[in-house]
Structure formats: C-alpha cells, structure tokens
Amino acid sequence: MGFAAAPLAILIGVLLTGAVVLVLYWVRPEPQPITVPSNLIWRRVLDERRRREDFWRWLISLLVALLASLAVVLALSEPAPAGAGAGGRVVLVLDTSPTMAAAAGGGTTRWDRAADHARGILESAGPGTEFLILDTAGQRGGRSFDDRRAGLEAVAALGPVFDAEHALPDLADLLDSEAATEVVLIGDGVRIPEVPDGVRAISVFEPVDNAGITAFDVRPLPTDPGRFEAFVEVVRHTASPDASVLVLQIDGAAGASVRRTLRVEPGVPRGETVPLAGFVSGPVRAVIAGAGADGLAADDVAHAYVPSRNRLRVLLTGEESPYWEAALRLDPRVSLTRAPEGADPFADFDPGAFDLVVIEGDPPPEAPPRPVLIAGSGSADWLPPRLGGTTEAAVTLPMRSGREPHPALSGVDFGDALAREVDAFDPAAEADPGRGGWRILAGDARLGLLAAREQPLRVLAFAFPLARSNLALQPDFPVFLSRALSWLTDVEVRRSGLGAVRVTIAEGGVFDAEGREVPSRRIGSDLSFQADLPSLYYVAGGGREVVVAASLLDRAASDLNRSAWAGEPSAAAPPGSPPVATLWPILALFALVLLVVEWVAFHRHVTV
Amino acid sequence: MSEDGTLFDAEFMERIEYLKLMATRMLPSRHRGEHRARKRGTGIELADYRPYVDGDDTRDVDWKAFLRLDKLVLRVFDEEADLPVYLFVDQSASMRFGDPPKFDYARKMAGALSYIALMNHDLISIAWYGPRIGEWMPPKRGRNQIYRAFRFLDAGETGGGTSLNQCFRAFFGSRRKRGLAVVLSDLMDPEDLLAAFDHCRYQKHDLVVVQILTPDEQDPRLPDEALLTDVEDGSERRVRVTPRLLARYREALEAHRREVKDYCSRYGFGFALASTGVPFEEAVLDIFKQDRFIR
C-alpha cells in the first residue's frame, strides 16, 4: 500500500487525532454530589473494580483510540492498494469543442463520457502521480502539474465551450522533454482530428443524427424597410441518404407564429425566407423539430429581434438642406420638425422630445442627448478626429472587405457618389478605443468619410455636408436613410453565439427572457455574462438597453458526425468504484464511528 | 412518628398487641412467662438422663432406674432462669436515612421486642451505641417498665460513627448475666463486625442480629456521575454509575449480609434483614420465626 500524502500531512493527522482523543477524554460532566449513609459497600465495589476492570477499560479505550488515530492518518494519507502503479506525470487533454455537447446515448453526452474517462484515469493512478489538465479551448493554459484532487476539480470545472477557437494545445515541450510520462487526448475527433505522436487518444465519438439551425436573421424587406422577413438556414446530418422532413416554427411577440415544413437533403443546408407580416416588434424565435433523433439541442433553437416600426420624431437642424428634408419626408415613419437656421435648436427645442437629431453642417460643441445623424465638416469633441483641410473624394463602400456590413449600410450601394469639401475623419481613430469606439464605414485607408459609434448614444457622421455631395441623389440613398434611421433609433440588438458575451454598457444588469437575473461581472467598461443557452438576454444600464440574441448558428457545430475517429471504436466506459476514491472516505468514516462509539461508551458508561 | 412527637402512640400499641397475639400463636407449646435457659441446672423440669460420674450431686440420681437397671443414672433438669434481653440500637448518623428513617424503624422494633419480653417477665436492657456505648437503660423487669422503655427509646438521637466492636468489648467486658443480645443496626460498620460478635460469643450470650436497610440502600438510584459523601466519616468517592456497577454494588451488599448471616448460622445465632420499606411488625415476626426470642 502506498500513500499519496506527504509525511507532514501524516504527522498532522496523528497530532490532530491525538488532540481529538484527548479532548474527548477530558470533556466529562461534573459529578452530582450525593450524601449516602455509608461508603462501606461502595469502597469495596470501587476498590475491586479499579483493580480489575479499570485496567481492561483503559486498555480497550487505548486500543480504540489508537485504531481511530490510525484510520484517520490512513485516510489523510490517501492510501492506494498495492499494484496501483507508480507515481508519474500524466497530461490529460480534454476536447471541449461544441460537438462534445452531443448526445452519446444513455442520457449522457460525449462530454460526460470524456469527463468520466478523465476521472477514471485520475482515480486509478498510483499514489504520487501528478496531473496536468488541459483543454482545447485554452481555458487551462498553465503548465504546472498538480495532485489528483486538483485534477478532479479541474475536470469538474470544464465543459463544452461554444465561443472559442478550439485547437490542440502545444504539447511539444511536454513530449520532447519527457516531462510527462503519458499524454492522453479525450475527445470525439470532430474539431481536433489530429493526434500527435506520443499521445494516446481516447475516443468518445458515437455517430448521432442531428438537425440544426445554422442561420437566423430578421431583416427589412428591400422594397419596404418597414416590413421584415426572417431568413432561416437549417441543416440535417444523418447517415440515411434520404431527405428528412423538418418542421420549422417561428414564434414572435403577441402570439404571432409561422410554421413551415421543410424537406432537407442530408448534409445540405436549406435556406428559407419567411415573411414576418403579422409580427410586431419584439423577440422572435425559430425552432425546428420532427427530425427523429437529435444529437444537439443547442442548435435546435435560434433567437432574433424584430425592430420597431413606430413613428420617429426627427429634429432637423443646421444649414438649409433640401436633401435631408426631402429624403426624411419620404420615410413614412418620420415626423419631421425643422429648426430655423441660425437658431439654437437645443435651446428652443427639447431634445428629449425627439427620437433622432439630424444635423447638416457644423456640429454643436456638446453632443445632443439623442442619437445623431450628422453631415458636416466641423470638428467637435464628440465626433471622430479629422485630418484637417478639405478635399474631394468618392464615397466608396465598403471600406474594408471581409467584415460584416454595418446595419445602416446593409444592401446599400452608393454607386458613383462624390463629395466635395470633405474634412475627412482620421481612419486611425477606429483603432483607438480611447477615441470613442468609432467605426469607419466609408472611405479608404487614408480618408474616413462615414463613421459610426454605439456608445454612449448612437451617432452616424458624414465627413462632408450632404449639400456638398450627390449622395442624396443616389438610388440607394432612401434605403440607406431608412436603414440608418432604424439603426439609430431601434432597440439595440446584438447577435451572439453561445458562451461569454461582453456588452459595452454602464453599470447595469443582465436578465434572461424569463426576467431572471443572469450573473454578470464588469470587465473594464464592459459587462460580461455567460450565455450558455440559446435565448434573448436583456442588458440594461445607464438608460440604455441592449438585447443580445444568443444562438449557436454554427454549421460546424451542427455537423456532429464529421469525426476523424469515426472508424475507431468508442472507448469503453471507465471502471466504476475505483479503490482509491472510496478508500479514504471509508477509513475516515470508520475513524469517526470509532471515536463516536468510544465517546458515547465512555460518557454513557457502557464500558465503565 | 405521631403528632405529639412520640414514636409509641396508640397505633403503635395496637400493632404490638397484634404482634403479641401472633407470637402466641406461633409458639403454642411454650409456657407463657417462662423461659428455659440452655444451661442444665437445678430446675424442676426433667430435661434428660445421663450416666452418673464422680462428683455429681447424688440427690439427682434416679434410684428407681438404679433398681431396674443396676446402673447409676443421673436426672438432668433445665435450669429455670430469667432471660435478660440486651437490645443494642445503632444511633450512628447513617441511621437517620430512609423514609421512615432507619433509626425510627429500629426504635419501633426495639419497643416491640421490649414489650413482648416484658410481657414474658423477662429482663430488658436497652443501649444506644455508636462509636461507643451511649446512654443505656439498666435491666428492668415487669410490665409496668414498658413505658420507661418507650420513653428511653423516644429520647434517642442519631449522630457520629459506628463501632460495634468497641461497644461490645466495653459492654461485655463487665460481667453480665448471660442472655440474648439483639443488635438493631444497618451494620455499616467500618470495623470488624465479626470480632464484635465474637465478644458476645465468648461470653456465651445468645445473639440476634437485625440488619435494617432502606430500599435505596438495597437498590440505589443515582445519577450517571456522582460524588458519594459518607455521612459518618465524610469520605468521598466519585463513581460513574452503570448498570454493571449497580449490580456489583448489590452483589457486594449481599456478600456483606451473607458474611454476617453465615457467621450467625455457624454459631447458632439469629439473623434477620429488615427493610424500612415493609412494616416493622413483619420484621419483628421474622425474628420470632427464628425460635430464639420466645422459647
């Protein structure tokens, strides 16, 4: 039998147990004084008892105390049976990719089985074995080996991670230096197909059919920005070559619902556009069902948000601009108020009575307290820094490729728009978070022509007066304006994957769709929370509310069977009841029972 | 004790009258008022015959038997004598325990025995004893002495330790007429009781030992942890009371009782155990059953 505990721990165990025994012997009730006619008989009894039974009582008590002490010390020493293996250094790499959340039969998931295997290795290892627990999401990046208990705690703290890039951690140093006696990778071979030399792979892969939503978006109709449609992409992965029938249901606020039956070919994504004619502004959820066995529940549901269609109260101020006025009046949602030129609009009008302020020309020194759409060349602290001077430039979109288009510019092409008197924004402002979190939407690497920011209020700023360009004459300008108005005034909706979400918002809280508060913590100027389930999360604070639509929407995650280890048998379940894990609690319990029995026997005079 | 403070009230008298009646029924063949001593002597009642030896009184030779048998046969008579009854009542502090107190119980027994004895024309002497012989009532005879005996018993008080050995050495150290010594005590005597009884035996006195105990002494009820203080010598013993310990106590008490009883049996003495939990007259009758007090 070997011991995992250090000699110091054993010594502490001996001292502690001895102290406990002594205390228990010392704690005795005070005797009750009784006057008796004579102690003659008692003397005879007690003298006889002392001679014979006290000795045996003392001896038995000592033996029991010693036995209890030994049991406690053994329990603290974490004994392992002989032949449990010598000490060593074992590296366990756990695949925490999203596909590990897939069902693996018996009500478990691939992750459950992987964790069981890991625990089995930890608990069956020999005494003194050290462990390093790593994962593919980089949650555990340390390189220090620890004992079994720490390893078990590390495994318990891990789980599938949806919002990280998964890769096999760098094991070269461990393998080359032979710092580790064994390196074990436990996973399903989907995200981490490669197994380096010297690494023992344990597969928990089991093929399973799965249907999932891989895209879900609510967008305005190009022909009518006030109406919306939902785009849903579903996919069905199954071993059967036949097409599957899926039922897609989209539910919205106020009981609105749409149901479609889709025929989906195996492994081929199927896109479906669904008009949301009867849907009011608010949350909307897409659910697929009816596909038989389903390996991953997280991709069966997706969430989005239908923007508002209310009337927008717009205050137009600054220089006379027929373009702005004409374009704004074309939007049926807009209720326009024109501030006289030269007047101080923020003195004569209550900005709080408007949903949006549109400014043509020089900006006011202070930012209006409402979202702003501004076109002008003047500088202000609340606008992005400018390069200085004026120039002429073509308004090109998009500024950079490979980036998700801004909601205000989605589907917009400014064609041959040209602007004069451009006092361009400095594109470097985009890279400097200290400058207000601006994003340059139009221009090039030298000239920023259109900038947008989210915080603290949304602002869309052109680097030139609208009157000094032909932008308003472009065919897509009404579309842009409609999108811009929606983005500036609508509820702020963010789409997010599952996992950690960070929202730039002042002090506030996070609530789920049921109104329950979600634990969150502040990281710098952001509020961070964990979106573990597909749902809508409401982040509110500082007079602002952000709706986070968290959905998986990951084609790779939905394809559960694309495993490089598909041909290999899944590892058998680890053996149950490993001896080491159960031996020390039994010993500790045995010691406790002995102490209690001894204490009770002593104080209840069973053996005295 | 009665309302007027005396142990020997009308109720007590009724109970000893009952005792007297019971004693008469138990011993129908005996002659009332007459006791035969063990000593063979000069009485008129023939007790036995034995061969004549030199020195015998020739007046007791049965001449008719000589004529028939041609042998000298001597007639042996019981010597008629008054039976002195010495009542020794323990007045040590331990006797005040119990409900009723052992001391009251002993005094009532002594009163009852005195009454019976005086009614039988015996001599009665009562002595208190503790560490030494206390006040004592010299031998009295006659029925009219009963109230004197009652007054003596009524005036007794408890206190101090016990030493029957010292008391008997002192009491029987002086020449006493042979008689019946009755000891009424709890026998919780730290000194050698048997040595005390030996004094009695060497003086050829008859002896009846009555051990008086309370039910609590016979079957103690104690808390788990007790500090026992001896009321006589103040000694303390700490005990952890367990059923096993109590059983051992009962065994030790029984061994103590058996030691005295075996001694008494060996030398033809009487022994009785009286519990204050039973009426005292039952204990008195138990003494009568031993065929020693009334002959």
pLDDT in tens, A441-487: 888 878 888 999 877 788 999 999 988 888 888 888 888 888 888 88
Helix (H) or strand (E) holding B288: helix B280-289
Gap from B250 CA to chain A (nearest CA, Å):
9
SS3 content of chain B, % helix, strand, coil (to 5): 40, 25, 35
Strand pairing class (A301-306; A282-289): antiparallel
Question: What pLDDT score does B168 carry?
Answer: 92
Gap from B287 CA to chain A (nearest CA, Å):
24
A46 vs B229: CB contact, 8 Å cut-off?
no
Residue of A43, A605, A608 with shortest CB distance to B237: A43
Is A223 an interface residue toward B (CB < 8 Å)?
no
More confident: A200 or B121: A200
* Chain A hits for B101, Cβ within 8 Å: none
pLDDT in tens, A156-193: 888 888 877 888 888 777 777 666 778 888 998 888 88
Taking the C-alpha atoms of residue B209 and residue B88, their distance in angstroms, rounded to an integer, is 10
What superfamily in CATH does domain A312-490 come from? Answer: Class I glutamine amidotransferase (GATase) domain (3.40.50.880)
B229 vs A605: CB contact, 8 Å cut-off?
no
Would you place residue B214 in the very low, low, confident or very high pLDDT band (cuts 50, 70, 90)? very high
Question: What pLDDT score does B126 carry?
Answer: 95
Gap from B85 CA to chain A (nearest CA, Å):
28
User: Quick one: closest CA in B to A607, which residue?
Assistant: B242
Size of interface A-B (CB pairs under 8 A): 94
Q: Per-residue pLDDT for B32 more than 60?
A: no
Domain boundaries, chain A: 2-29+39-77+585-603, 89-207+561-576, 210-308+554-558, 312-490
* Chain B hits for A604, Cβ within 8 Å: 224
| A470 exposure class (CB count in 10 Å sphere: 0-12, 13-18, 19+) | middle
Question: What pLDDT score does A103 carry?
Answer: 86
Question: What pLDDT score does A570 carry?
Answer: 63
Radius of gyration of chain B measured on its C-alpha atoms: 22
Concatenated DSSP letters of B133-185: EEEEEEEE-SGGGHHHHHHHHHT----S---HHHHHHHHHHS-----EEEEEE
Gap from A64 CA to chain B (nearest CA, Å):
20
Gap from A39 CA to chain B (nearest CA, Å):
5
| Among the listed residues A169, A129, A490, the one whose alpha carbon sits nearest the alpha carbon of residue A306 | A490
B222 vs A48: CB contact, 8 Å cut-off?
no
**Nearest 10 degrees: CA dihedral of A426, A432, A437, A443?**
30
Gap from A123 CA to chain B (nearest CA, Å):
48
More confident: B76 or B210: B210
Domain boundaries, chain B: 10-30+82-289, 38-80
Taking the C-alpha atoms of residue A324 and residue A481, their distance in angstroms, rounded to an integer, is 10
Is A29 an interface residue toward B (CB < 8 Å)?
yes
Taking the C-alpha atoms of residue B149 and residue B113, their distance in angstroms, rounded to an integer, is 10
Gap from B270 CA to chain A (nearest CA, Å):
23
User: Quick one: closest CA in A to B95, which residue?
Assistant: A37
In this predicted complex, what is the ipTM? Answer: 0.79
User: Quick one: closest CA in B to A53, which residue?
Assistant: B245
CATH T-level topology, domain B10-30+82-289: Rossmann fold (3.40.50)
Q: Are B90 and B133 in contact (CB under 8 A)?
A: no
What contacts A43, CB < 8 A, 6 or more positions away? B235, B237
* Chain A hits for B228, Cβ within 8 Å: 34-36, 39, 42
Taking the C-alpha atoms of residue B35 and residue B37, their distance in angstroms, rounded to an integer, is 6
Average pLDDT for residues A10-34, to the nearest whole number? 74
pLDDT in tens, B227-277: 999 998 899 988 888 888 899 899 999 999 999 999 999 998 889 899 998
The hierarchical CATH code for the domain A210-308+554-558 is 2.60.40.10
Handedness of CA A72, A74, A78, A81 (dihedral sign): negative
Taking the C-alpha atoms of residue B165 and residue B131, their distance in angstroms, rounded to an integer, is 9
More confident: B102 or A9: B102
B238 vs A48: CB contact, 8 Å cut-off?
no
Question: What pLDDT score does B3 carry?
Answer: 47
Residue of A37, A40, A45 with shortest CB distance to B245: A45
Taking the C-alpha atoms of residue A564 and residue A439, their distance in angstroms, rounded to an integer, is 41
More confident: B213 or B238: B213
Q: Which of B162, B217, B239, B242 is most worth mutating to test chain A (most A CB atoms within 10 A of its CB)?
A: B239
A34 vs B227: CB contact, 8 Å cut-off?
yes
User: Quick one: closest CA in B to A605, which residue?
Assistant: B242
B229 vs A44: CB contact, 8 Å cut-off?
no
Question: What pLDDT score does A435 carry?
Answer: 66
Taking the C-alpha atoms of residue A186 and residue B130, their distance in angstroms, rounded to an integer, is 94
Q: Per-residue pLDDT for A219 more than 80?
A: yes
Gap from B58 CA to chain A (nearest CA, Å):
57
A40 vs B190: CB contact, 8 Å cut-off?
yes
User: Quick one: closest CA in B to A37, which residue?
Assistant: B94
Please, what is the Cα angle at A416 between A415 and A422, to 5 degrees? Answer: 115
Question: What pLDDT score does B41 carry?
Answer: 53
Lowest mean pLDDT among A526-530, A588-592, B89-93: A588-592
pLDDT in tens, A552-561: 888 888 888 8
Domains A210-308+554-558 and A312-490 belong to one CATH topology? no
Would you place residue A588 in the very low, low, confident or very high pLDDT band (cuts 50, 70, 90)? confident
* Chain A hits for B253, Cβ within 8 Å: 41
Q: Mean pLDDT over all residues of chain A?
A: 81
Is A600 an interface residue toward B (CB < 8 Å)?
no
B229 vs A34: CB contact, 8 Å cut-off?
yes
pLDDT in tens, B129-158: 999 999 999 988 888 898 899 999 999 999
Structure tokens of B87?
């009542």
Task: Give how far Cα A427 sits from Cα of A430, A447, A449, A542, B189, Å.
Answer: 6, 6, 9, 29, 116
